[in-house]
Amino acid sequence: MNFPFYIARRYLFAKKSQTAINVLTLVAVVGVGVGTMALVVVLSVFNGFEKLILSLFNAFNPDMEISLVEGKTFGMDEFPADEIKNLPGVLHLGEVFEETALLTYKERQHIVKLRGVDETYDHITGLDTMVLEGEYDLRSGDQEYLILGQGVAYMLNANIHDFLNPITIYIPKRGHVTTMHPAQAFNASSHYARGVFHVQAEFDMDYVIAPISLLRYLTEYENEVTSVMVSVEPGSNIRQLQREIDRITGEDFQVRNRFEQEEFLYKVMRSEKWAIFFILTFILVIAAFNITGSLTMLVLEKRKDLGILWSMGAPLRTLKQIFLYEGLLISLGGALIGVTTGALISWIQIKYGIISLQGEGAFIIDAYPVHIKIADLVLAFLTVSVIGLLASLVPVQKIKNFLNNSVF
């Protein structure tokens, strides 16, 4: 067995002549453990919210979206749709046309983003699973229907069971229109809503889903689209497939995956997570001062033992290693306790949802979402280990002063 480690282990568990040293060592272990536990739990909660929000956005956004780098619309006649469909890993290709529109219902009105989609949209996204009221049905025979965002339905006070008062859509006519009557500057069409979806407030307040044929009729286009959505087979290499599609479409088009479609949101979420990580790490640094104090008092108590070992020929490096290992044992013990406890608390929250979100109906889930990542557990353990190592270096350096001054 390694001699310095053996002595360090004996010092850790042996009874000290000064009770304060035992108490301070225990406080150091508990402080590091509690800090590590908090770090693991908070990171797991952030992971839970991130996973939840991503799942909500994934219900609305496709795996990949293809749009023009410059400009708004492009014709499908010139788009290499067949070549993209034949790529291994591509499941569905969907046409999308988005336009800003004014919706009116009875005496209310609201400006929305009207998203026209084809019949593959519910296969490309999971929006049909996010319908709270009614059903996902955009067409029945010759009738075309709307699916409203929950916020849009609230602003219009729309009732999907009201078949006497349809929702009227107004979209400005293309080109320069000269008329004395404002109503003649718009293309209009009236339709009933068949469902209400709830994804996220940003989408719910702005979006209404409609058949793409309706959008083309209102905007006076034939086969133009504003973007093409792609669904990818599970297990496929998204990055590689994205590069292949980008090569096929050329410089005029941009291909964005799910992260790139909501890049700002993902950056904000990651920034918040790392900000909390560094704040809790700073708290762990403060807790690590207990390790410094405990080792300093231990060095003072064991100065006679140091003198004996020094007289017997033990090198200075060995004497330093004893207390360095002592500090590492304290920090690693606290880290192990904290990681285990934090993971256990997170698992209990995942399993039983003990801590609930405040406010009835305030969110789509009842309890705080938690997701444990092994990488975060390893990161927390390594962070505490490094902090413990640095905290141990301060008292270790004092050993040389004791030897030079012959304080034994």
**Average pLDDT of the segment spanning 340-362:** 82
State in Å, rounded, how far the first CA of the chain is from the last one.
27
Which of these, 144, 85, 93, 89, lies nearest to 123 by C-alpha position? 93
The predicted structure's pLDDT at residue 407: 46
β-pairing, 253-257 with 227-232?
A: unpaired
The domain ranges of the chain are 3-57+265-405, 64-257
For residue 2, pLDDT over 90 is answered with no
Q: In the numeric block, which tokens belong to residue 234?
A: 């599970």
CB 240 within 8 A of CB 257: no
Placement of tokens 């839970």 in the chain:
48
In single-letter form, the type of residue at position 123 comes to H
Percent of the chain residues past pLDDT 70, beyond the cut: 90
CA quadruple 37, 43, 49, 55: dihedral sign: negative
172, with CB counted inside 10 A (0-12, 13-18, 19+), is middle
How would residue 383 be classed by pLDDT, with cut points 50, 70 and 90? very high
pLDDT tens digit sequence for 96-130: 999 999 999 999 999 999 999 999 998 899 898 88
β-pairing, 131-134 with 193-197?
A: antiparallel
The predicted structure's pLDDT at residue 170: 94
How would residue 258 be classed by pLDDT, with cut points 50, 70 and 90? confident
- Residues facing residue 193 across a β-bridge: 146
Q: In the numeric block, which tokens belong to residue 124?
A: 């490309």
What is the DSSP-derived secondary structure letter of residue 103?
E
The predicted structure's pLDDT at residue 60: 85
The predicted structure's pLDDT at residue 364: 63
For residue 229, pLDDT over 90 is answered with yes
What is the DSSP-derived secondary structure letter of residue 91?
E
CB 7 within 8 A of CB 321: no
Q: In the numeric block, which tokens belong to residue 232?
A: 């990818």
pLDDT tens digit sequence for 236-247: 899 999 999 999
User: What is the rounded distance in angstroms from the CA atom of residue 281 to the CA atom of residue 242?
Assistant: 37
User: What is the rounded distance in angstroms from the CA atom of residue 368 to the CA atom of residue 278?
Assistant: 22
In single-letter form, the type of residue at position 6 comes to Y
The predicted structure's pLDDT at residue 260: 86
Collect all residues with Cβ–Cβ distance below 8 Å to 239 and sequence separation of at least 6.
257
What is the DSSP-derived secondary structure letter of residue 173?
P
CB 150 within 8 A of CB 206: no
CB 166 within 8 A of CB 191: yes
CB 295 within 8 A of CB 396: yes
For residue 295, pLDDT over 90 is answered with no
For residue 400, pLDDT over 70 is answered with no
Torsions phi, psi for 266 (to 5 deg): -65, -40
Strand (E) or helix (H) holding 358:
none
CB 327 within 8 A of CB 392: yes
Q: Which residues in 233-378 belong to E strands, given as ranges?
A: 253-257
Mean pLDDT taken over the chain: 86
For residue 361, pLDDT over 60 is answered with no
Q: How far is CA 77 from CA 80, 118, 225, in A?
A: 8, 16, 11
CB 209 within 8 A of CB 145: no
Q: For the whole model, what pTM was predicted? A: 0.75
CB 149 within 8 A of CB 205: yes
Collect all residues with Cβ–Cβ distance below 8 Å to 295 and sequence separation of at least 6.
323, 326, 327, 392, 394, 395, 396
Least confident of 192-201, 226-235, 298-307: 298-307
For residue 259, pLDDT over 60 is answered with yes
pLDDT tens digit sequence for 58-103: 778 899 999 999 999 999 988 999 999 999 999 999 999 999 999 9
Chain-centre distance for alpha carbon 295: 40
Which of these, 206, 249, 190, lies nearest to 99 by C-alpha position? 206
